[in-house]
Amino acid sequence: MRTGTSLVDLGKYNENVVIHAFRRLGASSQRDVAASTGLSVQAVSTIVRGLVRQGLLTEVGTRISGPGRPHTILNIVGSARIAVGVHIDPSLITAVALDLNGEVAASASSTDVDSDDPRSAMANVAAMVQRLIQESSIDDQQLAGTCLALPGPVDPSTGAPGSAVWLPGWAKVPLGEVLGERLGRMPVPVVKDTLAAVIGENWVRGGESLESTMVFVYIGTGTGLGLSVNGEAVRGFSGNSGEVGTMMTALGSNAPGEPPGMANDPAVLVARAHGLGLQPEPLPARSDFVAIERRFAGLCAMAAQGANRADRLLTTAAERIAELVMMATELLDADTVVFGGPYWHLLEPWYAPAVKRAVRRPSARGPHPVSVLSTAMGDHVGAIGAASVVHDNLYVPRAPNSTDH
């Protein structure tokens, strides 16, 4: 549905156009921004004055280019707004405070994940967030908001996990509402962690990534994709784009008795290694994520040290991921593939070469090259992504009253 808009909405939109230009260009003059955005120099000057008054922009120097007065150079004040992002993984809760420039101001983590009682878990998360805010001396004006990222689909109307594959007992619990009440009635959006990841990658990288078409491959307890076109995340109708289980099943990746679409999950690879006699110790339960991670790290170490069957197991997993990435890059006509997530550092030696070979194959996608990169977010992909969702919602220019599916 198309509706009208107010001058206030239009003014906010143009403010965000200018902020977006600084995120793409870096330190720039008002003339640079005008040339980049199509706004007049007079309009940019008016908007910049307002952003300086709000503390979002500041002068950082001057530049002489030809005759006349030097141009004032401005840039974003990172500390002007801080967003808090929380990622809940089955074995770890991570929270970060992220500034406008994508720099982490503070972080905290806890292995105390009460998988049986989501309301108790939200009480622990609220205490972690409040400590982070207090210890970082973030005042009310600086605090842009809080966002929660979860593994798997999220019900957009309630902020509840759409299913609880990874966190049994959490399905249908409105986590955003529960956490928001604990934080003093603060609205807390809840998003899928792969969506948060691609939003975070664009926010932290800035620059040319804001013009790229990206496939973010999240390697965690499960595998998922985050997608963006021209720096804008592809959310899908319900915000749950990037589910890949059906595609993984179509790649013929499951042995009898294995859950469909999960052949690259660490728990499944650990079970296969056990079946091959590579790790003869009793197999940990799929719900024992700490033990699974420890066994999986051991499997990767065996493969790196030359154990042929372990290497072949991970090489086969890498080939499946490469085919999945090829499907996604062809579907989107992508120019960038980014990998990240808690298991990426273990799997990079196998996955990165396989994907780089795959994207060099002749393709209907076209002749342009595809860059294969590791995330700019480091170890805290889900939490940084969640914090970036707050900044993205506030400062990425979107047409007023547009419906974003």
pLDDT at 3: 43
Distance between CA atoms of residues 279 and 44, nearest Å: 63
Query: Residue 89 above 90 pLDDT?
Result: no
Instruction: Kindly give, in sequence order, each residue whose CB lies less than 8 Å from that of residue 267, ignoring residues fewer than 6 positions away.
Output: 221, 286, 292
Look at the pTM and tell me if it is higher than 0.85: yes
Both 177 and 227 in a single domain?
no
Both 69 and 172 in a single domain?
no
The secondary structure of 287-337, three-state, reads CCHHHHHHHHHHHHHHHHCCCHHHHHHHHHHHHHHHHHHHHHHHHHCCCEE
The pLDDT-based confidence of 1 (bands split at 50, 70, 90) is very low
Per-residue pLDDT of 234-289, as tens digits, reads 999 998 898 887 787 777 666 666 666 688 899 999 999 999 999 999 999 888 88
Domain-embedded: residue 17: yes
Per-residue pLDDT of 158-188, as tens digits, reads 888 876 666 777 888 999 999 999 998 889 9
Q: Residue type for 396, please?
A: V
Q: Average pLDDT over the chain, rounded to whole?
A: 90
pLDDT at 4: 43
Range 298-307 average pLDDT: 96
Measure Cα distances from 30 to 53, 69, 81, 114, 394 in Å. 16, 13, 22, 51, 22
pLDDT at 2: 44
pLDDT at 49: 97
Both 245 and 220 in a single domain?
yes
Range 121-149 average pLDDT: 94
Residue 143 has phi, psi (to 5 degrees) of -70, 110
Q: How many CA atoms lie within 13 A of 355 on its CB side?
A: 27
Last-in-domain residue among 41, 76, 111: 76
Q: Residue type for 218, please?
A: Y
Apex 198 CA angle, 109 and 164, nearest 5: 60
Q: Residue type for 181, please?
A: E
pLDDT at 8: 64
Query: Residue 69 above 90 pLDDT?
Result: no
Q: How many Cβ atoms from other residues are within 10 Å of residue 184's Cβ?
A: 8
Domain-embedded: residue 248: yes
Last-in-domain residue among 18, 53, 76: 76
